[in-house]
Structure 1
Amino acid sequence: MSQWDTIIVGAGIVGLAVAYELMARRPEDRLLVVDREVSVAAHQTGHNSGVIHSGLYYRPQSLKARLTRLGRALLVNFLDQEHLAYKISGKLVVARRVEELYALEQLFQNGVANRVPQIALWPGDRLREIEPSVLGIRAIYSPTTGVVDYSAVARRMAERLQKAGHCLCLGHGVRHVVVDAGLVRMRLDNGEELSAPHAIVAAGIGTDRLARQARLALNARMIPFRGDYLVVAENRRDLVRSMIYPVPNPRLPFLGVHFTRRLDGALWIGPNAVLAASRTIYRRIALSRHDLWDTISFPGFWRMARQQWRAGLDEWMRDHCKRLYLSQVREYVPELAPMDVHWGPMGIRAQLVDASGTLVDDFRLATLGPVMFVLNAPSPAATSAFAIARYLVESCAPNFGWKLSRPLLTP
């Protein structure tokens, strides 16, 4: 049995950020990062639109609101230190109809309460000066929104961890987590056994299973939502210069299908949010019996389905008809034609749903003795990863008996 000071399960951006924070704050510890995939950033980190969020959307005083603003500052600090490419291009949240103006104003006030820097409300004519192909009657301008390759961020953290002498064990999933006499014991799928005084489980869409297996009282379940993107043809990319977002549905934790100008200049449209029958298979038609049973055997799923069936049906129909998918974004950019786009990549969002059928909006952490579980870390977790890691490490310190040195990154 190999022994470590702390084991981190999950080599996505949150798990690696936790390891990176511990490397700086507890330099004497031996850290092990474990992931079932053979590369880092294999799931949500490597399958998103790459947006650096500014903190506009989130309920004031929520963890998302508090950690996104700090996380953005820490992320940009890391990118500058490591000479990694990123671009601050700004974004516009656009109201198309009069009935959206109240929600847009509420969103703006939310951004003000969250101290999002330099946001402004623009009239339609100002919008058209910046984005002449975009239709709208009013918009929120957020100039500090940007774009980055989060996979590159994860790879660089992994390199720094290994250079400092810490270990990444990739290609081997954790099968069992047991807390025994104050010690965390794990068994991998290759039979290897690990132990440590403390562990952090940031395994994305697999965290709830490990939490239940470890006997954490958890009356919630991860429900997978697939997000598909359309990619705009290279000769039509100039229709959108930065990022265009719709006014979001306040009853759902999704931001709506939007235009994102990628770091390489590509223009993506999406993602949507379609209930998926697999947690890890990136195909439009994909079925895992185990994953599907995990979803439909949870009573909270059926309560969610009763509450959100219409929105779910609309998403499913648009996902299976490119013209329907395109019709919702042509409200903003009417010059887009079906021949201007093709289906692109997709991602799977790990969304925690509680027993009442509510899609949990905020980040959620839970402790079971010497183990901390990151139960819900959807968007903007990539932007917030360094701040989530700092919050988690500092929250664990009193119970875990950790003495922490000064952080490496500063906002």
Structure 2
Amino acid sequence: MQQDIIVIGGGIVGLATALKIKEQRPELKVLVLEKETEVAKHQTGNNSGVIHSGLYYKPGSLKATNCIRGYNMLIDFCEKEEIPFEITGKVVVATNEEQRPLLNNLYVRGQQNGLEGLRKISAQEVKEYEPYVTSVEGMWVPQTGIVDYKVVSEKYAEKLRSYGAELNFGEKVIGITKGHSLSIVKTERNTYETKLVINCGGLYSDKVAQMSQENPINVRIIPFRGEYYKIRPEKHYLVKNLIYPVPDPNFPFLGVHFTRMMRGGIEAGPNAVLAFRREGYKKMDINAKELYETLTWPGFQKVAMKYWETGLGEMYRSFSKAAFTKALQELIPDIQESDLIEGGAGVRAQACDREGGLLDDFSIIEDTKVINILNAPSPAATSSLSIGQTVSEMALKRF
């Protein structure tokens, strides 16, 4: 059961990382361990399927550099592997005068990140793209697209197997012991030896990281559930492609928006509410131990104190369809409560440090035996091949 590299996590980042390693060093023995029975079961399989352009992220950050490189790598991969995708473009709109400066800041950031064809547009021009949107000003982002990331992940897995990598499902990791030359990875079913562990555990990445560290790590994953509604088919005409608000610059979420889906239909959302368990996709999904760990984390307590008003608003929208509709009506006044059918939900693994910082950038921490990807929320799916390349380069220095 000896391996060169074990990747923990069969989401899109774990699969892309293993794939990039095997592409460069096919002779290495690579094993992916996934606790579920299939790939992309959590963050990857429950997101809105947007191919992000790299608009929002601080220039020079890991998010900005990996999103823009990953965007091009993803498009090339989809074309080569004949995976359906569409470059739709999107509008980002300011719905009141106070948002104009924020929209302008976003435009400047997009230019700094090298987005081509980005342009500010008038309220009337917004209507040429999205006739039912009301705004004071907007921005056209031509690069944005849509894809089904579950399909992308399944293709990564297929290619991995063709390169001789192993994917073992139903293998929840319960312990990691670092040795002098080999580490031992223990699952509920087996024990493995490996030269290097790469932790892509998503919602449990902090727990997996802690298994191999003597001292407590400084971050904890706080799960935020994003709930969606679907728009009734007879009202699909209200949305042509993708419509986004100007995001709150203090909060690492993009606000409720409209997204045309690759697999059909239109989604409206998500909100962002604290999930009461890490894989809590329904309002009443509760894990008392995990909720206690969240509520007693000093960093979360500081976040809650700072953003309690925003948090209460998000929670209210979660339980009130009328309030959710009102938020959507800021973008499209014609949308009615009766037009919305309850959709699914995703849970975002948001790392929060002890000081109360919601990590805005990807976070990758390494030592000689383990590489931990501790924060990889959106745009990680768009960026997956680039993150995989980044992590594979870190890994292959050891071989």
TM bin, normalised by shorter chain, reads over 0.9
What's the secondary structure of 1:180's corresponding residue? coil
Q: 2:115 maps to what in 1?
A: 116
Structure-2-length-normalised TM-score: 0.98
Q: Which of residues 206, 209, 212 in structure 1 aligns to 2:210? A: 212
1:382 match: 381
The reply to whether residue 132 of structure 1 matches residue 128 of structure 2 is no
Any conservation in 1 of the 2:148–2:263 contact (CA below 8 Å)? no
Q: Which amino acid aligns with 1:387?
A: S
Quote the Cα distance in structure 1 between the aligned partners of 2:55 and 2:364: 22
Which residue does 1:99 correspond to in 2?
98
In structure 2, distance between residues paired with 1:264 and 1:250 = 31
Cα distance between partner residues in 2 of 1:293 and 1:26: 43
| Distance of 1:16 and 1:305 partners within structure 2 | 34
| Alignment map for 1:2-401 (pairs within 5 Å) | 2-190=1-189, 192-215=190-213, 217=215, 218-398=217-397, 400=398
**Residue in structure 2 matched with residue 409 of structure 1 by the alignment:** none
Task: Tell me the distance in 2 between the aligned counterparts of 1:213 and 1:281.
Answer: 23
Distance 1:303 1:366 in 2: 24
Q: Displacement, 1:397?
A: 3.3
Q: Distance in 1 between matches of 2:330 and 2:218?
A: 40
Separation of aligned partners in 1, 2:16 and 2:289: 30
Task: Name the amino acid aligned to 2:15.
Answer: L
Contact 1:362–1:376 (CA under 8 A) maintained in structure 2: yes
User: Is the 2:239–2:258 Cα contact (8 Å) retained in structure 1?
Assistant: yes
1:38 and 1:201 map into 2 onto residues whose CA distance is: 18
CA distance in 1, matches of 2:116, 2:16: 25
- For structure 2, the residue ranges without an aligned partner over 5 or more in a row are none
Shift of 1:141: 0.6
> How far off is 1:216 after superposition?
6.0
Q: Which string of whole-angstrom CA distances, capped at 9 and with x for unpartnered residues, describes residues 369-404 of structure 1?
A: 221000000000000000001111123333x2x3xx
Structure 1 segments (4+ residues) deviating >2 Å = 395-398
Could you tell me how far apart the structure 2 residues matched to 1:42 and 1:282 are? 12
- The aligned amino acid for 1:288 is N
Secondary structure of 1:4's counterpart equals strand
Separation of aligned partners in 2, 1:264 and 1:289: 35
Q: How many aligned residue pairs are there?
A: 398
Distance 1:264 1:385 in 2: 20
Q: In 2, distance between residues paired with 1:392 and 1:216? A: 23
Aligned residue identity for 2:88: S
User: 1:210 is matched by which residue type in structure 2?
Assistant: V
- SS across alignment from 1:265: coil
Are the equivalent residues in 2 in contact too, given 1:184–1:370 (CA < 8 A)?
A: yes
- Residues 184 and 371 of structure 1 are in contact (CA less than 8 Å); yes or no, is this contact kept in structure 2? no
Cα offsets for 1:102-133 (capped at 9, x unmatched): 00000000000000121110011111122111
2: CA distance between counterparts of 1:348 and 1:123? Answer: 35
The amino acid of 2:52's aligned partner reads H
Distance 1:265 1:235 in 2: 13
| SS of match in other structure, 1:210 | helix
Structure 2 CA distance for aligned equivalents of residues 264 and 17 of structure 1:
22
SS of 1:360's partner is coil
Q: CA deviation at 1:358?
A: 1.2
Task: Name the residue aligned to 1:407.
Answer: none
2:346 & 2:373 partners in 1: Cα distance? 19
Letter in 2 for 1:38: T
Q: Deviations over 1:323-355 (max 9, x none)?
A: 101101101111111111111010000000011
Q: What is the root-mean-square deviation of aligned Cα atoms in Å?
A: 1.0
Residue deviations 1:246-301 (CA, integer Å, cap 9, x gap): 00000011011110011133110111110011111321211011211221231111
CA distance in 1 between counterparts of 2:341 and 2:83 reads 29
**What's the offset of the Cα at 1:182?**
3.0
Question: What amino acid sits opposite 2:172 in the alignment?
Answer: G
Indicate the residue corresponding to 1:405 in structure 2: none
Does the Cα contact within 8 Å between 1:216 and 1:368 map onto a contact in 2? Answer: no
Which letter does structure 1 place at the counterpart of 2:204? G
Percent sequence identity is 38
The aligned amino acid for 1:248 is: P
